[in-house]
Amino acid sequence: MTYRQKLISTLILLGSAISPVWAEGLASLALPPGTRTAWVAENIEQNGVPMQIQQLTSVATVNEVLDFYRAQWKDSADPSVPGFVENKVGEWQTISQLENNLQTVIQVKNSRSGGTEGFASQIDIRSTPGSNRTTRKFPRKSGSQLISSTESKDGAKTATTIVLMNTFSIKSNADFYHSKMRAKGWSLAHAKNQSSVSIMLFNRSGKSCEIAISKNRGRTVILANILATKT
């Protein structure tokens, strides 16, 4: 599974959970014996709010992982709030803790190779969703709906993924972006147009922008991936 596939699947399953990037964050999360973690997103924003996500793999069973966090989180600092909450969505099981306005979510399922696999995230319930500067400045046809805005940083590189939806045709959207992007100083490096999808790649001084336009359930989806590199 690629980085982007991990990220998208995690956001869907966690309901786009959001959390700030703390000094320690998930790096200080207690782990069951035989459990390893790997960063999926250490410094990322979803709809303008910072978040962290780690992938979990463990030799322990799903029940053993859940039992570990049940024991860890059984006592709540606030008597009016339960120590933890559990849910099941399909093959996934989640256990979450809310403390000091921070929510930690563990999401696990049986691994095909044995043991357990899943994700961990942290949420600040005080955070207010919005959109970043790149998303606000990205052109869109009148009536377009912003579905998602995700920003991730890796050293000098910043990647922004924007998902828009509208009722205009693929061709109408493609013509719009071909004109608007060039007017904003982007040069067209590649274009591929078919009846079911239109793909365009633009470049501009240290930045690239790939736009894919397709149909989904009678509406048109615009997926833009913008990569900026600081020099």
Residues 63 and 15: their CA atoms lie apart, in Å, by: 23
69 token code pair: 């966090």
Residues 43 and 46: their CA atoms lie apart, in Å, by: 10
Positive or negative torsion for Cα 14, 95, 40, 57:
negative
* Tens of pLDDT, residues 22-33: 446 788 899 999
Kindly report the number of other CB atoms within 10 A of residue 39's CB atom: 14
* Tens of pLDDT, residues 67-94: 999 999 998 777 777 899 999 888 999 9
Give Cα separations from 85 to 62, 93, 99, 144 (angstroms). 16, 11, 12, 37
Query: What is the per-residue pLDDT for 66?
Result: 97
Residues 74 and 83: their CA atoms lie apart, in Å, by: 5
Which pTM does this prediction carry? 0.59
55 token code pair: 């992938």
* Tens of pLDDT, residues 50-64: 778 899 999 999 999
Query: What is the per-residue pLDDT for 49?
Result: 65
Query: What is the per-residue pLDDT for 125?
Result: 67
Query: What is the per-residue pLDDT for 127?
Result: 66
108 token code pair: 């696990």
Q: Which residues contact 49 (CB under 8 A, 6 or more apart)?
A: 18, 19, 20, 124, 127, 128, 129, 130
Query: What is the per-residue pLDDT for 105?
Result: 92
Q: Check if the beta carbon of residue 127 is closer than 8 Å to that of residue 121.
A: no
46 token code pair: 């979803």
Query: What is the per-residue pLDDT for 92?
Result: 94
Q: Check if the beta carbon of residue 135 is closer than 8 Å to that of residue 160.
A: yes
Query: What is the per-residue pLDDT for 193?
Result: 87
Query: What is the per-residue pLDDT for 1?
Result: 47
Q: At 39, give phi and psi (nearest 5°).
A: -70, 130
117 token code pair: 């696999």
Query: What is the per-residue pLDDT for 164?
Result: 95
Query: What is the per-residue pLDDT for 13?
Result: 47
Low-confidence ranges of the chain (pLDDT < 70): 1-24, 48-49, 124-125, 127-130, 231
